[in-house]
Amino acid sequence: MAIYKKANPKIWSGRTSDQRLYMHEKIKCGPIESISPHSIALLGYECDEGVKRNQGRVGAVDGPNAIRAQLGKMPNHLDSKTEVYDCGTIQCIKGDMEVTQNKLSQMVSKSLTKNALPIILGGGHDIAYGHYNGLADHIGKRKTIGIINFDAHFDLRSVENGPNSGTPFYQIAQDCNANGTPFKYLCLGIRPDSNDKNLFETAIDLEVEFLRNTEFNIQKLKTVSRVIKKFISGVNHVYVTIDLDGFSSAYAPGVSAASPMGFSPDIVLRSLGTIIKSKKLLGMDIAEMNPTYDIDDQTAKLAASLIHFVIHRISE
């Protein structure tokens, strides 16, 4: 079972002004049905059942509100015409991840009917399956969605033992094959110490494009940008998913699978800039925010800063 919880205005707090200088003063709370066209729709995904099934560290269920709390404190540089809504949260009940994903899919599709940009706050990386399905349901089979995943992991595990946070892109690939639609997947930051040889073989079989962590850094920005631009040129829309465990634990200790060997924020920000410039961004999410293991809210601040960057850049 999954339930929808209305947005809680009390979560949005910080310094106050009479000029809406801070994000908590800018953000409106309301259901998707009430949002204005061409706005930004934030939606929480309180679910880490997939992490639990994947033998990871649970706690990402509390991720959405941790991100909200940090985003609300940040400065607001948006113009008066740009509206940002907190559209509430989908909560997983009694471990029913599949129903929760389905509910997420429906709400993503609803936000797109308003021509809004959905930004989903997670939650485990099983968020990706529900989010993608909502995007795909909205645009139909005639247009292609390119998935760009910032991650240390392919998340292409088989569903032989059931779906979890490590299976979403394998599930999407299977659905694409069944529907006769292209599976377009670019993964940035892959680490050999985080993916076994079977996962690399699966990625090759599915024609997944990827850059290893050693190739995904600011020193190789030109190469990274070229890869991203080429990938985007072959699709109609782009879905961005950011798994916070792809970052080095120096930046993101509060995740389900932390490692010091991850990438840094600078290359992610530059990559996001390239994606946004294409005007093809259809939806975005942040996954694996785990406050249980965070230090001084560092990971929540990173997640909030990424969202802050995106919503300001697309509004320029």
For residue 59, cis peptide bond before it (omega within 30 degrees of 0): no
The answer on pLDDT for 101 being more than 90 is yes
Average pLDDT over residues 126-139: 98
Average pLDDT over residues 166-188: 97
Q: What distance in Å separates the CA atoms of residue 45 and residue 62, rounded to the nearest whole number?
A: 9
Q: Which residues contact 97 (CB under 8 A, 6 or more apart)?
A: 47, 49, 50, 53, 126, 163, 164
Average pLDDT over residues 23-52: 96
Q: What distance in Å separates the CA atoms of residue 130 and residue 62, rounded to the nearest whole number?
A: 18
Q: Which CATH number does the domain housing residue 285 bear? A: 3.40.800.10
Provide the pLDDT for residue 59: 97
Cβ atoms of 15 and 21 within 8 Å: the answer is: yes
Average pLDDT over residues 39-45: 98
The answer on pLDDT for 1 being more than 90 is no
User: pLDDT digit string (tens) for 227-286?
Assistant: 999 999 999 999 999 999 999 999 999 999 999 999 999 999 999 999 999 999 999 999
Structure tokens at 89: 């949260």
The answer on pLDDT for 30 being more than 90 is yes
pLDDT band for position 216 (cuts 50, 70, 90): very high
SS3 131: helix
242 phi and psi angles, rounded to 5 deg: -115, 115
- CA 261 distance to own-chain centroid: 21
Residue burial 11-46, b: 16+ Cβ < 10 Å; e: rest: bbebeeeeeeebbbbbbbbbebeebeeebbbbbbbb
The answer on pLDDT for 95 being more than 90 is yes
Torsion, Cα of 33, 74, 46, 53 (10° steps): 140
Q: What's the count of helices (H) and strands (E) in the chain, helices before strands?
A: 10, 10
Residues of the chain with pLDDT > 70: what percent? Answer: 100
pLDDT band for position 68 (cuts 50, 70, 90): very high
Q: Which residues contact 214 (CB under 8 A, 6 or more apart)?
A: none
User: pLDDT digit string (tens) for 116-125?
Assistant: 999 999 999 9
pTM of the model: 0.98
Domain that holds residue 55: 2-314
Q: What distance in Å separates the CA atoms of residue 174 and residue 186, rounded to the nearest whole number?
A: 16
pLDDT band for position 316 (cuts 50, 70, 90): confident
The answer on pLDDT for 44 being more than 90 is yes
Cβ atoms of 295 and 285 within 8 Å: the answer is: no
Provide the pLDDT for residue 2: 86
pLDDT, averaged across the chain? 97
The answer on pLDDT for 219 being more than 90 is yes
Q: What distance in Å separates the CA atoms of residue 291 and residue 158, rounded to the nearest whole number?
A: 28
Q: Which residues are annotated as a binding site?
A: 125, 151, 153, 155, 243, 245
Number of separate domains in the chain:
1
Q: Which residues are annotated as a binding site for Mn(2+)?
A: 125, 151, 153, 155, 243, 245
Average pLDDT over residues 192-218: 98
Average pLDDT over residues 6-23: 96
